[in-house]
């Protein structure tokens, strides 16, 4: 077999369309004007740095070193972007980190290591405002924490008995709207009410009105529910079992059979006034406590153990809300829809590198988490828009399939008729 050397051809020709879409959305202007000024002698601007890092993941890579190994040669002649070296990209991103914050709880003496990254969160909201499909009116906000296991120098032991971080993430649909990093020892419920307040303050600042907030059982506490109610019209939270809740469940007289998969369960609802002791400890009077609605789904226990308060051998799944208008089934269906956030964590960790953080400090890795959250938001836009133009894409494609179908098309930039044109090598009908 004879081999003839030729000018470099990029194996990732479809990436040019991704970069062009970012330029058309004016992401380049947003990054270059919102991030700190670079030295005048710098050969690369912020769009080059951030877009180059995004390009690694748009081409199937998972670390900055892929820039010099797999991307730079094929994109040497592109007029759209300058590809920096991996060290330059990482150094510039590292410079965006803020001073870490240390907090203590009202009853504890231990310090909790947080990284807020307020300016990058604000930049993320500006990026989302450029996207056509980002809704701002009466949105449903989901909040949850996820564990990222890592052996970084400052990572602390999580409740899973492994070192890592525990970032809190807010989502609206498939858009990441807020990321606040915390060390692994600081569980999800610790100072979460302050996180909720910071997140909602940023969203209100951006002009977003919140109709409902959905959270899991880590948010079932007096201070957190109080913060949520102040920032939204409705809330839905998975309640934790307690003596008060068990007594309330025991008072439910009417249970309706519901079919879930191949199981027949029972569902009912009642009212409850929780957190009386927590309110007293906080200095609030019991008169300020509100009555909420509890929707409970129960199924028989396999071991037959009787609950002392309810008198039944059942497992209970209670959801607390301040919405008294929805039916019991609608409350459960609406709350269960927050399961899509777990899918977003899977996408962020496996498609956008959250499981492989590049830096050794929590505040620097927070920059990475937010930069890649912006990449995820941008990808949600382009996969929807590109799928409307070409029939071999679908709006629900994960990035791996997008790479195989769209990005991995050989191409090179050529000069023809006094203009620079992109020559694609393939039979696919690309539209611009």
State residue 368's pLDDT score: 96
10 domain residue, yes or no: no
pLDDT band with cut points at 50, 70 and 90 for residue 211: very high
Encode pLDDT of 219-232 as tens digits: 999 999 999 999 99
- From first CA to last CA, the distance across the chain in angstroms is 38
How far is the C-alpha of 73 from the C-alpha of 11, rounded, in Å?
A: 10
| Distances from the Cα of 294 to the Cα of 235, 274, 308, 397, angstroms | 12, 11, 19, 37
pLDDT band with cut points at 50, 70 and 90 for residue 416: confident
1 domain residue, yes or no: no
**Half-sphere exposure of 268 toward its Cβ, with a 13 Å CA cutoff?**
15
Residue 431 has pLDDT above 60, yes or no: no
Q: What is the mean pLDDT of residues 416-431?
A: 73
State residue 275's pLDDT score: 83
Q: Based on the domain organization, do 134 and 74 belong to the same domain?
A: no
**Best CA proximity match to 179, nearest among 399, 325, 366, 408:** 366
Domain boundary among 303, 333, 351: 351
In contact, 274 and 246? CB cutoff 8 Å: no
pLDDT band with cut points at 50, 70 and 90 for residue 403: very high
Q: Based on the domain organization, do 82 and 140 belong to the same domain?
A: no
Q: Based on the domain organization, do 75 and 197 belong to the same domain?
A: no
How far is the C-alpha of 67 from the C-alpha of 71, rounded, in Å?
A: 5
Per-residue DSSP letter, 2 = -
State residue 429's pLDDT score: 60
Structure tokens at 311: 């008198």
382 domain residue, yes or no: no
377 domain residue, yes or no: no
Q: Go through 392-420 and write b for each residue having 16 or more CB atoms within 10 A of its CB, e for each that does not.
A: ebeeebebeebbebbbbbebbbeeeeeee
SS3 370: helix
Residue 158 has pLDDT above 80, yes or no: yes
How far is the C-alpha of 317 from the C-alpha of 215, rounded, in Å?
A: 14
Name the residue with tokens 């039916």: 327
Residue 339 has pLDDT above 90, yes or no: no
In contact, 399 and 411? CB cutoff 8 Å: no
217 domain residue, yes or no: yes
pTM: predicted TM-score of the whole model, two decimal places: 0.91
249 domain residue, yes or no: yes
The H or E element spanning position 423 is strand 419-424
Q: Based on the domain organization, do 280 and 240 belong to the same domain?
A: yes
Residue 261 has pLDDT above 90, yes or no: no
Domain boundary among 300, 324, 351: 351
In contact, 116 and 124? CB cutoff 8 Å: no
Residue 430 has pLDDT above 70, yes or no: no
Per-residue DSSP letter, 106 = S
pLDDT band with cut points at 50, 70 and 90 for residue 274: confident
SS3 8: coil
Q: Based on the domain organization, do 275 and 347 belong to the same domain?
A: yes
Structure tokens at 271: 């009212």
How far is the C-alpha of 43 from the C-alpha of 251, rounded, in Å?
A: 71
CATH number for the domain including 159?
3.90.350.10
- The per-residue pLDDT of the chain, averaged, comes to 88
SS3 78: coil
In contact, 182 and 113? CB cutoff 8 Å: yes
H helix count then E strand count, the chain: 14, 16
Among 35-44, 107-116, 198-207, 407-416, the range of highest mean pLDDT: 198-207
Range name among 80-94, 204-218, 299-313 with the lowest pLDDT average: 299-313
Give the total number of structural domains in the chain.
Answer: 2
Domain boundary among 289, 322, 351: 351
State residue 196's pLDDT score: 95
358 domain residue, yes or no: no
Encode pLDDT of 46-80 as tens digits: 999 999 999 999 998 888 888 888 777 777 778 88
Encode pLDDT of 142-154 as tens digits: 999 999 999 998 9
Structure tokens at 245: 């809740």
State residue 2's pLDDT score: 66
Encode pLDDT of 35-47 as tens digits: 999 988 889 999 9
Q: Based on the domain organization, do 108 and 35 belong to the same domain?
A: no
Question: Higher-confidence residue: 327 or 68?
Answer: 327
The residue range of the domain holding 81 is 15-95+390-424
State residue 285's pLDDT score: 64
Q: What is the mean pLDDT of residues 183-205?
A: 93
383 domain residue, yes or no: no
Q: Based on the domain organization, do 84 and 121 belong to the same domain?
A: no
Q: What is the mean pLDDT of residues 248-273?
A: 87
Residue 7 has pLDDT above 70, yes or no: no
Q: Based on the domain organization, do 401 and 281 belong to the same domain?
A: no
Q: Based on the domain organization, do 273 and 335 belong to the same domain?
A: yes
State residue 66's pLDDT score: 87
State residue 3's pLDDT score: 61
- Dump the DSSP string for 234-274: EEEEEPPP-HHHHHHHHT----EEEEETTEEEEEEEEEE--
Encode pLDDT of 368-386 as tens digits: 999 999 999 999 999 999 9
Strand order in the sheet with 112-115: 101-103, 112-115, 175-182, 168-172, 139-145, 210-215, 234-238, 314-321, 292-300, 263-272, 256-260
Q: Based on the domain organization, do 134 and 197 belong to the same domain?
A: yes
Q: Based on the domain organization, do 293 and 178 belong to the same domain?
A: yes
Q: Based on the domain organization, do 32 and 90 belong to the same domain?
A: yes
In contact, 48 and 84? CB cutoff 8 Å: yes
Residue 323 has pLDDT above 90, yes or no: yes
């Amino acid at each position: 077999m004879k081999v003839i050397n030729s000018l470099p051809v990029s194996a990732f020709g479809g990436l040019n369309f991704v970069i062009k879409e970012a330029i058309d959305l004016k992401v380049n202007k947003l990054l270059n004007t919102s991030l700190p000024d670079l030295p005048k002698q710098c050969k690369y601007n912020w769009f080059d740095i951030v877009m180059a890092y995004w390009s690694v993941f748009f081409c199937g890579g998972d670390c900055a070193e892929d820039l010099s190994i797999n991307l730079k040669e094929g994109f040497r002649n592109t007029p759209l972007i300058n590809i920096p070296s991996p060290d330059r990209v990482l150094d510039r991103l590292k410079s965006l980190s803020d001073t870490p914050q240390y907090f203590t709880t009202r009853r504890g003496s231990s310090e909790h290591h947080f990284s807020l990254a307020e300016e990058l969160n604000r930049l993320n909201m500006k990026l989302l405002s450029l996207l056509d499909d980002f809704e701002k009116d009466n949105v449903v906000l989901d909040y949850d924490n996820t564990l990222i296991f890592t052996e970084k120098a400052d990572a602390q032991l999580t409740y899973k008995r492994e070192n890592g971080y525990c970032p809190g993430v807010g989502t609206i649909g498939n858009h990441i709207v807020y990321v606040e990093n915390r060390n692994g020892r600081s569980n999800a419920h610790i100072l979460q009410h302050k996180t909720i307040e910071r997140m909602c303050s940023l969203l209100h600042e951006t002009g977003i009105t919140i109709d409902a907030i959905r959270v899991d059982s880590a948010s079932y506490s007096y201070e957190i529910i109080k913060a949520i109610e102040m920032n939204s019209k409705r809330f839905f939270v998975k309640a934790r079992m307690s003596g008060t809740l068990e007594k309330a469940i025991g008072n439910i007289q009417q249970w309706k059979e519901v079919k879930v998969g191949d199981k027949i369960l029972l569902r009912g609802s009642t009212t409850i006034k929780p957190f009386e002791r927590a309110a007293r400890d906080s200095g609030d009077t019991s008169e300020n406590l509100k009555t909420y609605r509890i929707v409970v789904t129960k199924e028989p226990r396999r071991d037959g153990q009787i609950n002392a308060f309810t008198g039944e051998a059942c497992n209970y799944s209670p959801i607390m809300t301040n919405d008294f208008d929805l039916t019991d089934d609608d409350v459960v269906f609406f709350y269960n829809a927050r399961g899509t956030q777990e899918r977003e964590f899977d996408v962020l960790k496996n498609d956008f590198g959250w499981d492989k953080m590049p830096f050794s400090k929590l505040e620097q890795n927070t920059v990475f988490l937010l930069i890649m959250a912006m990449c995820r938001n941008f990808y949600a836009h382009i996969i929807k828009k590109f799928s409307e133009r070409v029939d071999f894409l679908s709006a629900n494609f994960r990035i791996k399939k997008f790479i195989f179908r769209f990005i991995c098309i050989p191409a090179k930039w050529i000069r023809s008729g006094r203009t620079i044109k992109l020559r694609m090598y393939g039979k696919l009908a690309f539209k611009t």
